[in-house]
Structure 1
């Protein structure tokens, strides 16, 4: 079971981390309590020291006790914001991370009157947080929900997948043609009609990409509230297709994905099934749009429909 945490930091630290400059969270010299319970994959929610707001979060990639020399090397690279002055004999615990995710909604701690861990008697709004406080998956997901992380709807994720597929020259289909993301009707983005879908099982898949020339499918299932087993079962029914399978979900679902991927019942699709974090999909969506805009000068056949 991965342990998560609430950490304190200045608002300036949060801004530097959100900009991508800061890559390390450093504890004060002598701090030892509880740090060893954090591990790669732990999510740290950052609470600002003065304004008492949840600013964002990062996922730990490494937990390490560094000496003064290594600490100074990290500081010289700009990975540590406002580094401490250490004595040659000092050692400091640090957390490495790749990306800091800023929350769309900045929530004050006092507002979390209904957010608890599975074992806590008091809500987080009543906690006294002086440096670090552990939370479980239950509390983490509630904080994320209130702070707006992962609020994208199923339909808007489908919209992005359809747009990326179209931009990359695939024919596309969604099982939810009647649904909308904002003012955009999903059926307006598809190029495959239901009657052109060769298999009834394909019609249940959230998003389908089809390479007509090579007869290759890319199949996507979005898991927000549904059981991940259902998606694996849907994919297994299509195991005879020349296809790659993708589960699109929040990063917190990765452990469940790995568990089902190793299930013997799904061994036939194991090597063709991958996980896509919603944050990574958003990056793919934006970068693909930018790339296609620049690539138009090449007059590539697969991009003709986007020009």
Structure 2
């Protein structure tokens, strides 16, 4: 392989791994919080730590919780947490290198669902997130969308595991 292509391939693989890594953190947090967790079929074979994401999720076929067009749209969300009634609770979009606007467009389509909308990205993208969210088109969801940076997500994952281990000892 020409040397000029190698860095591009490595960066692409690194970006893909980072995306699935943060999906995996979200899935584990959801599982520990007793949610049912889902990732899209195109992501199920991506690796989190040493195993495919499919081995961590608890929902392998999305629940038919609403109209077909809404369920199909939700199937494209990076991580979904479902409550015990098989209704969506939270939608997470991991924006490692993709356009935040695309996630906000998904969220605006799903605004009639009573869910939490979360964008997960590097803290350096927070200004971009605020800029996009301030667009008038996203006004209906602007109070419902939150930004989670990777560092905060990682800390939340660690603390959630700690709490879970403590609860097991009670």
With the length of structure 1 as denominator, give the TM-score of the two structures: 0.46
Q: Which has the higher contact order (CA 8 A, sep 6+)?
A: 2
Matched, 1:230 2:95: no
- Measured in 1, the distance between the counterparts of 2:39 and 2:149 equals 20
Greater radius of gyration (CA): 1
Aligned to 1:271, the other structure's residue is in SS state coil
Unaligned runs of 5+ in 2: 1-14, 66-70
- Measured in 2, the distance between the counterparts of 1:220 and 1:245 equals 6
Higher helix share: 2
Report if the CA contact (8 A) 2:39-2:57 is conserved.
yes
Correspondence 1:2-21 to 2 at 5 A:
none
Q: Deviations over 1:126-180 (max 9, x none)?
A: xxxxxxxxxxxxxxxxxxxxxxxx9961011111100000000000000111211
Aligned to 1:204, the other structure's residue is in SS state coil
Match of 1:184 in 2: 51
Cα distance change of structure 1 residues 166 and 195 upon mapping to structure 2, 3 Å threshold: closer
Q: Deviations over 1:183-205 (max 9, x none)?
A: 21101111112242540011000
Higher strand share: 1
Matched, 1:156 2:21: yes
Task: Give the aligned length.
Answer: 149
Offset at 1:227?
0.6
Match of 1:253 in 2: 125
- Measured in 2, the distance between the counterparts of 1:151 and 1:215 equals 29
Q: Deviations over 1:216-249 (max 9, x none)?
A: 5111000111011001011111111110100000
Correspondence 1:1-307 to 2 at 5 A:
153-175=18-40, 176-198=43-65, 199-213=71-85, 215-298=87-170
Q: Deviations over 1:84-135 (max 9, x none)?
A: xxxxxxxxxxxxxxxxxxxxxxxxxxxxxxxxxxxxxxxxxxxxxxxxxxxx
Unaligned runs of 5+ in 1: 1-149, 299-307
With the length of structure 2 as denominator, give the TM-score of the two structures: 0.81
Structure 1 runs of 4+ off > 4 angstroms? none
- Measured in 2, the distance between the counterparts of 1:162 and 1:262 equals 29
CA RMSD, Structure 1 to Structure 2 (Å): 1.9
Cα distance change of structure 1 residues 289 and 158 upon mapping to structure 2, 3 Å threshold: same
